[in-house]
Amino acid sequence: MTVTVGATRRDKTRLMTGRRTESGFLSAFQLANPAREGRGCGKSNRPRPLWAGFAFNRQNVSQVAANTLTTPVSEVLPMRLLALLPLALLAVAVSIAGDPPKKVAPKFPFSKDTTYFEGPLGDEGYVDYESAINGVLRGKLKPEENAVVGLLQCLGPKPEGSPLRPEFYKWLGAKAPPEKGDYLIDSIKYFKIPYSGEERKQLEELEIRLRQRPWVAKDAPEHVEWLKVNEKPLGAAADAVKRSGWFHPVIARKSDGTRGDFISELMPMIQKCRGIAFTLAIRVNYHLGAGRFDDALADVMTMHRLARQVSHSASGIGYLVAVAVDAIAQNSGLVLLEHGKRTAKQARRYQAELLALPPFAPFVDKVNLYERVMVLDVIQGMHRDGANDFSHGGLEDLTPEQRAAALDWPLMMKIGNEYLDRLVAALRKPSRAERWKAVGEIGAESEKKLWRMRDLTRLQKFFLMADPDKKRLKVSERVGLLIPAALAISADRIGDVADRAEQITRNTLLATALAAHFAEHKAYPAKLAALAPKSIAKVPDDVFSGKPLIYKRTAKGYLLYSVGVNGKDDGGHLLTDDPRGDDIGVRMPRN
């Protein structure tokens, strides 16, 4: 793991959710901040909080849902302060025949304020966070109710090429599917295309076209055969996402099976949900090319349901995948409305099915549980390793005992929890303006305390203070704040993604209402207010401005848009336009 601390407030953490940018599949951070050229983040009006200047590379996350990229920075902490640290071993009291069970005392006091979970206790005396978090996530959900168990019939036992770990199935309460079966096969593997090179580029360009508009067999005959091969696994996925719940176990293990860390947790099934959505998007347009509106709508709704299921994943990265899957679904839905030769009844049916969908899981829940546990796990691991993370940068002359004695571990955990408590409370404010005002205040306050801690000599100064009590307090206060500020997921950015996703949903609902109105009147209305209550119960407002959405009739259709993250009317320049804008909208016709 590489942890970097931004030298300037312009340094960006970039979480990308796709290989290519196209209409209908954009990076989650592009969805949130589209103004910047290329694949970076855009800008918003609010002050940037401290954590936006930090970046961390969650190993293997690029194989999961969102490729985690970090921009170059001029200063890097010359220590392993936030290095990946092993978790405590699984909490099992081993009984040797004839001997009483081994009792382990906690390494330090467990409480809601410090460790957050007060158990179970691992056999090294630390909280077994893997068991604790999975117990909460699973709750009372039964295997037959779990969409993840159903998706095994689509993805098989090796979603990413390697078998899922035994602990994964143990927590699911399900058996591994057979080694061989009718499982989803992506186009690269099916066509035996190298993962890089000109052939890969040509395949991607073709599939972008196939996802953008209706097509027929003669346009891509080999893709027709590929879709036939995937018919059974896609059917399994459609059935799975109709289940009542989602529990994807958090399994943080090293290659040898011993406990790993939460930061490097692999999420292979979550990542593969993007592949399911890509395949369905191609099939939607194949159905439309053959005039099969009902089949196309069924695939669109499968993608929407999949997105909402995935949003219940533990981590913020899983949430980004859910938003990306829903963006693919929204794009396919607009293709359906534009080219589906739909009737007013069909347009209203699409709207009714959208309204019947469950909401996305609140992304603040990811911060409150997973991100919190990740932070506490790092502190706990530092304690177990004797504060070896401070053995660099001029501190190597101190013994492990001296380094450990310089830290008040319960205080550090308490500070980390207090930081996250404040962040969670801010993210639960009722309005967008209130949320980001509170988040900005937390960031500004933390920045004032920690901005100079980029320079290790500042931290070293506290380590070498003569007064042991003052040293212990000063070092613990700063490290206790630095860890959550650096590791807790960029809440303001993910929040923008969540708001943008909600706005896209509102736009799509209005697009169904406009399609129904057009089918009945052969013209679009002069004002959105004319749609209610016949075509839609109530016209939704702009998520970002709190005011009515901007709507304009054009010579051939209409332009509908929100002012977007920056809060400014950019004249209807959308993210997919050239040059890109920040407005979030629908343009009909789309091309």
Which residues are CB-neighbours of 327 under 8 A, at least 6 positions away? 24, 25, 26, 31, 501, 504
- pLDDT at residue 385, as a whole number: 78
Instruction: Give the tokens for residue 105.
Output: 């005392």
Three-state SS for 462-488 is HHCCCCHHHHHHHHHHHHHHHHHHHHC
In which region does residue 140 sit, left (phi positive, over 0), alpha (psi from -120 to 50) or beta (all else)?
A: alpha
The angle subtended at Cα 266 by Cα 260 and Cα 4, nearest 5°, is 75
Helices (H), 340-408: 344-355, 364-366, 372-384, 400-405
Give how many domains the chain has, as a whole number. 3
Residues 172-208 have pLDDT tens digits of: 999 999 999 999 999 999 999 988 889 999 999 999 9
Helices (H), 293-343: 293-310, 316-339
Instruction: Give the tokens for residue 385.
Output: 């390793």
User: Which of 356, 383, 405 finishes a domain?
Assistant: 356
Query: Is 75 within the bounds of a domain?
Result: yes
Which residues are CB-neighbours of 14 under 8 A, at least 6 positions away? 27, 29, 39, 40, 41, 68, 69, 70, 71
Q: What is the full per-residue pLDDT of the chain (591 aa) written as tens digits?
A: 333 333 322 232 233 233 333 333 333 334 333 333 333 333 444 433 333 333 333 333 223 222 222 222 222 222 333 333 232 322 323 323 344 556 778 888 889 999 999 889 887 888 999 999 999 999 999 999 999 999 999 999 999 888 999 999 999 999 999 999 999 999 999 999 988 889 999 999 999 999 999 999 999 999 999 999 999 999 999 999 999 999 999 987 776 777 777 776 768 789 899 999 999 999 999 999 999 999 999 999 999 999 999 999 998 889 999 999 999 999 999 999 999 778 999 999 999 999 999 999 999 999 999 989 999 988 888 888 777 766 655 556 777 777 777 788 999 999 999 999 999 999 999 988 899 889 888 888 877 776 655 555 566 666 667 677 887 888 888 888 888 877 665 777 778 888 999 999 999 999 999 999 999 999 999 999 999 999 999 999 999 999 999 999 999 999 999 999 999 999 999 988 888 889 999 999 976
Q: How many residues does the chain have?
A: 591
Q: Collapsing DSSP states into helix, strand and coil, what is residue 182?
A: coil
CA distance linking residue 212 with residue 580, whole number of Å:
18
CA distance linking residue 313 with residue 308, whole number of Å:
10
Helix (H) or strand (E) segment spanning residue 585 = strand 584-588
In which region does residue 544 sit, left (phi positive, over 0), alpha (psi from -120 to 50) or beta (all else)?
A: alpha
Is residue 370 located within the same domain as residue 457? yes
Query: Is 550 within the bounds of a domain?
Result: yes
Query: Is 134 within the bounds of a domain?
Result: no
Residues 107 and 122 sit within 8 Å (Cβ to Cβ): no
In which region does residue 583 sit, left (phi positive, over 0), alpha (psi from -120 to 50) or beta (all else)?
A: beta
The angle subtended at Cα 121 by Cα 119 and Cα 126, nearest 5°, is 105
Query: Is 503 within the bounds of a domain?
Result: no
Q: Collapsing DSSP states into helix, strand and coil, what is residue 388?
A: helix
Q: Give Cα separations from 515 to 94, 127, 356, 409, 549 (angstroms).
A: 65, 55, 19, 60, 17
In which region does residue 567 sit, left (phi positive, over 0), alpha (psi from -120 to 50) or beta (all else)?
A: left
Helix (H) or strand (E) segment spanning residue 460 = helix 456-463
What end-to-end distance do the CA atoms of the chain give, in Å?
43
Query: Is 565 within the bounds of a domain?
Result: yes
Eight-class DSSP state of 454: G
Is residue 182 located within the same domain as residue 49? no
- pLDDT at residue 391, as a whole number: 61
Q: Which residues face 551 on adjacent strands?
A: 560
Is residue 556 located within the same domain as residue 580? yes
The rounded Cα 398 to chain-centroid distance in angstroms is: 40
User: Which of 356, 376, 406 finishes a domain?
Assistant: 356
The rounded Cα 156 to chain-centroid distance in angstroms is: 23
Is residue 70 located within the same domain as residue 35? yes
CA distance linking residue 90 with residue 86, whole number of Å:
11
Is residue 415 located within the same domain as residue 318? no
CA distance linking residue 161 with residue 417, whole number of Å:
37
Is residue 476 located within the same domain as residue 525? no
pTM: 0.82
- pLDDT at residue 272, as a whole number: 93
Other beta carbons within 10 angstroms of residue 331's beta carbon come to 25
- pLDDT at residue 90, as a whole number: 27
CA distance linking residue 373 with residue 474, whole number of Å:
24
Helices (H), 58-165: 129-138, 147-155
- pLDDT at residue 62, as a whole number: 26
Residues 137-151 have pLDDT tens digits of: 999 999 999 999 999
Parallel/antiparallel/unpaired status of strands 558-562 and 67-70: unpaired
Is residue 210 located within the same domain as residue 342? yes
**Could you identify the residue written with the tokens 């304009």?**
552
Is residue 197 located within the same domain as residue 335? yes
Residues 360 and 330 sit within 8 Å (Cβ to Cβ): no
Instruction: Give the tokens for residue 551.
Output: 């709507």
Is residue 285 located within the same domain as residue 226? yes
Query: Is 43 within the bounds of a domain?
Result: yes
Residue-range definition of the domain harbouring residue 584: 509-591
Is residue 169 located within the same domain as residue 203? yes
Is residue 7 located within the same domain as residue 36? yes
* Phi, psi (degrees; rounded to nearest 5) at 78: -80, 50
Residues 45 and 563 sit within 8 Å (Cβ to Cβ): no
Is residue 377 located within the same domain as residue 290? no
CA distance linking residue 572 with residue 583, whole number of Å:
6
- pLDDT at residue 486, as a whole number: 74
Helix axes 198-212, 221-229, angle to 10 degrees: 80
Residues 14 and 40 sit within 8 Å (Cβ to Cβ): yes
Query: Is 513 within the bounds of a domain?
Result: yes
Query: Is 123 within the bounds of a domain?
Result: no
- pLDDT at residue 488, as a whole number: 60
- pLDDT at residue 73, as a whole number: 24
User: Which of 327, 356, 385 finishes a domain?
Assistant: 356
**Which has the closest alpha carbon to 570: 579, 582, 580?**
582
Which residues are CB-neighbours of 478 under 8 A, at least 6 positions away? 449, 450, 453, 459, 462
- pLDDT at residue 2, as a whole number: 32
Instruction: Give the tokens for residue 257.
Output: 């099976």
